[in-house]
Amino acid sequence: MPDSPAGPPAPPIPLAELLAREELGLRRIAGPEHTDLLWVHTSEMADPYPYLLGGELLLTAGVQLADADTYVARLVQAGAAALGFGLAPVHDTVPDALVEACERHGLPLVEVPRETRFTAIARAVWRLMAEARHRELRRVTRAQQALATAAARPDPVPAVLRQLAVHLEGRVALLTADGAVLHAAGGRTAPDVRTALARLARVVAPATLPGAPPAPGAAAGRKPSPSTATDTRGGTHLFAYALGGGQGLALALATPRRDSGDHTVAGIAVVLLSLLTAPHQGADAAGRSAALVRLLLGAAPQDVAPLLGAGDSWTVVHARRADGSPADALSAGALGAALGSALSDTDRETVRILLPGPHEPVGPQPGWTLGVSGPAPVSALPDADTQASRALGHAEATRAPLGTHSPGTGGLSALIPADRAEAHARALLAPLTEPLAGTLRCWLSLHGSWDRTAVALKVHRNTVRQRIARCAALLDADLDDMDVRTELWFALRQG
């Protein structure tokens, strides 16, 4: 069978769901009733084996069908999930030899009526996959909310395990490296299942706890243990996940089936349990973990700020590779370390770094373009994030390695009371919504340059022209007038 490919972007679809679409008129005439479809493929080759990935519903009109038994045997060898045979234009009926071969080799055979196009079948499968993905996302979201709520209870570890058992409809347990059960929830399991779970725990969890003597026969310098392991016992699916932090614990699961989304739900539980069972850490790491848990569970940012030891001042830095290449977690962490912070994140395009407390002024970093916010309290971090984003856009538009937000609190603007300035700005800019206000602000900051504004906002220059024209119409103002520009710039600086 060909090498297994990466999983498709949607859950597998039971063949029975496709057969239930009455508008297609499909009918299973041979082979087993239950199978899952991962893809749809059409081929009239005498031997499509080299082009199959496994899990396909293969559609054919039998143009080159000669030896039915060899043909079906090759499909089974390639891992095809089912065969759909069209009754047009070559055959009026499904050949008896093909029906017998599919029955003999255990391959579901579906009769496709003359009026049903293969493209309609493919479209129906993709639609069913989209519906399944939507159901999966809703299920994962509900499980995430339930697990987070459980983690906030007085007995968080047992509560998380109970919720996990409910959502996976199976047995879950927190095991030590030697297979001892610390906590468990869900239904009972057979002795051989418990033994298998203990074996999986030994596979994924470190053999020794920190400070404990090595296990007998443990070899120095051995390869790292895998983070997950799976097995089956009869109709029961077994899973084990190593908890982070090197505490020698594993989450073990025994479920009657393996539904799409189970791995994601289990991963959420692993993160929470890793935080809840983490050994004593250094003050900085412990504070960050505690702050993260409290934020995940709904605490206000200002309430967790003391745990991070940041004082009253924070700075947000946005960064992108100067050559336009994507950023990964390792490069983001290295940039954060260079700036003196372990608090970094990346979405592949932009790296965001949080600098806590007083720090040295941020300077240019080789290979990066940076945008730096002004100092802000923890309650104003969203505004600081916006400042950093604008500063990065300005730096890219002007081809500078570093852009810094300037609060503009000095000069003539300092002569006007802040409340009166803000009230005037709100009244003047009331007709503008986003992205118009942001586009106007960027355009004015770049002296009315269409091209530089397009670069900063990552939109086409015609989009910038259309937005600025819309701003002029809504404000009933001549944006070529310097007095108008000055007043608008003053108002936009108050936001």
Rounded to the nearest 5°, which phi and psi values hold at 14? -60, 140
Per-residue pLDDT of 323-357, as tens digits, reads: 887 776 656 766 777 787 778 888 768 899 988 87
Rounded to whole angstroms, the Cα distance separating 85 from 99 reads 10
Two tokens, residue 237 = 């699916």
Residue 169, C-beta contacts closer than 8 angstroms, at least 6 positions apart: 255, 256
Rounded to whole angstroms, the Cα distance separating 93 from 470 reads 64
Q: At what angle do helices 301-308 and 283-296 cross, to 10 degrees?
A: 170
DSSP string for residues in 173-185: EEEETT--EEEEE
Rounded to the nearest 5°, which phi and psi values hold at 110? -115, 130
Q: Are 479 and 441 in contact (CB under 8 A)?
A: no
pTM of this structure: 0.45
Per-residue pLDDT of 3-49, as tens digits, reads: 444 444 567 889 999 999 999 999 999 999 889 898 899 999 999 99
Extended beta strands in 190-243, E state: 228-233, 236-242
Closest to 249 in 3D by CA, of 170, 168, 157: 157
**DSSP, res 376:** B
Per-residue pLDDT of 53-74, as tens digits, reads: 888 999 999 998 889 999 999 9
